[in-house]
Amino acid sequence: MQIPFEYESLSKTLCESDGRGYYAKLDKWGYYHPEKGITVPCVYDDYLDICNAFGHFVMQDGKWGMVSFEGEDRLPFQFDTIGILSRGNLIKVEKDGFTGIVDTLGRVIVPLEYDKLIVANSLTVINHEGKRGAYFLTGELFMPAVYDFINLGDNGIWRVIEGDSTLYFDSERKRITDSVYGRCSKVHRNGLAVVCQDKKWGVIDENGKEVIPLIYENIYGYEPRVINGKRQSFFGVVLEGERFKVDAESACIEDCPDPALLQRFHIPDKEDQ
C-alpha cells in the first residue's frame, strides 16, 4: 500500500473494523482506507481510535459525533464525550454534565439526565442525589432513580435496596416474595440469594421461597459444585457457634454438628449418605 506524500500526520488505527487504515491529517483529520483511499474527508478537529464496528468517532467544533466508514453522519455532533460500550451498538455520551446512552442510529436508549451510569447486565443510572434506578439494555425503564441501590442478578431477578429494606423483583416488576429483608441481603447467583432479617440469615430461590430458613447467625460462604453432572449449591453456615455446610435443601452435608442441634432446628443430616 502506498500513501501519497501529502499528509501532515498519519496514525494507524488500532482496530480492524475497516481494514487497519490510517487517521490522516491534512490541516484537519480524516481517514485513509488502505484500498479505497480517503473515505472520511479531512475536516474534523480530532478523532477517537476506539474499536467500533459502526463507524468513526470524530470531533467537529468542539463536539463529538460519529460518521460511518464512508464518511456519512451517524451521530450528531453535540456530545462533550463519547465512547463505545461493550454491549453491542450502545454508546455512552455526556452533554452539559449529564450522562446517557444512544445507539449507533442516534436513538436515545437512556436519556441524558443522569450524573453517572454503570453498565453490566443492565444499565444502572445514578442521579445528582445519589439515588439509583435501572434500564434494560433495550432502553426500557425498569425502575426510576429513587432507590439507594439496584442491580440485576441471574435469572432476571432484581435486588432493590431502599433504607434498611431489600426487595426482590422479576423482570415484570412483580415482587417474587412479600417478605422484606434487611439491607445486607445479596443479589441472586445461580438462582439463589443469601438474605438477612433481624440478624438471622437464610437463602431464597428465584421464586422467593426460603429454601434455607432464616435461623443462622451467619452464612459465610457459597460454593457451587457439579455432582453427577448436576450443578448443586452449598453454603457455609453458623448456628449456635457451630460451623458446617448445608445444601440448597437446608440439609447438613459436611462438618455436621451434634445431631441434637440439627434435630432441634429440623435440619436433615446427609453427611453419611
**Residue 2 confidence (pLDDT) above 70:** no
Sign of CA dihedral 35, 37, 43, 46: positive
Residue 113 has a pLDDT of 93
pTM of the model: 0.80
What's the pLDDT tens digit per position in 192-245?
999 999 999 999 999 999 999 999 999 987 777 666 667 788 999 999 999 999
Burial track 131-159 (b if 16+ CB lie within 10 A, e otherwise): bbbbbebebeebbebebebbbbbeeebbb
- The upper half-sphere exposure of residue 149, i.e. CA atoms within 13 Å in the direction of its Cβ, equals 16
* pLDDT tens-digit readout, 12-68: 887 765 556 778 888 899 888 878 888 899 999 998 887 777 888 999 999 999 998
Say what the pLDDT of residue 154 is: 84
pLDDT value of position 264:
96
pLDDT score of 19: 59
Q: What is the pLDDT of residues 91-119, one digit of tens each?
A: 899 999 999 999 888 888 899 999 998 88
Task: Write out pLDDT tens, residues 138-174.
Answer: 888 999 999 999 999 988 899 999 999 999 999 999 9
Between 16 and 84, name the one with better pLDDT.
Answer: 84
Q: Is the pLDDT of residue 131 over 70?
A: yes
pLDDT at 252: 95
As given in the structure block, the three cell numbers for residue 236 are 457455609
Q: Residue 113 has which C-alpha cell? A: 439526565
Q: How many angstroms separate the CA atoms of 186 and 238, rounded?
A: 17
Structure confidence by residue, pLDDT tens digits, 244-270: 999 998 999 999 999 999 999 999 998
pLDDT of residue 89: 78
Strand partners, 90: 103
Mean pLDDT of 71-76: 89
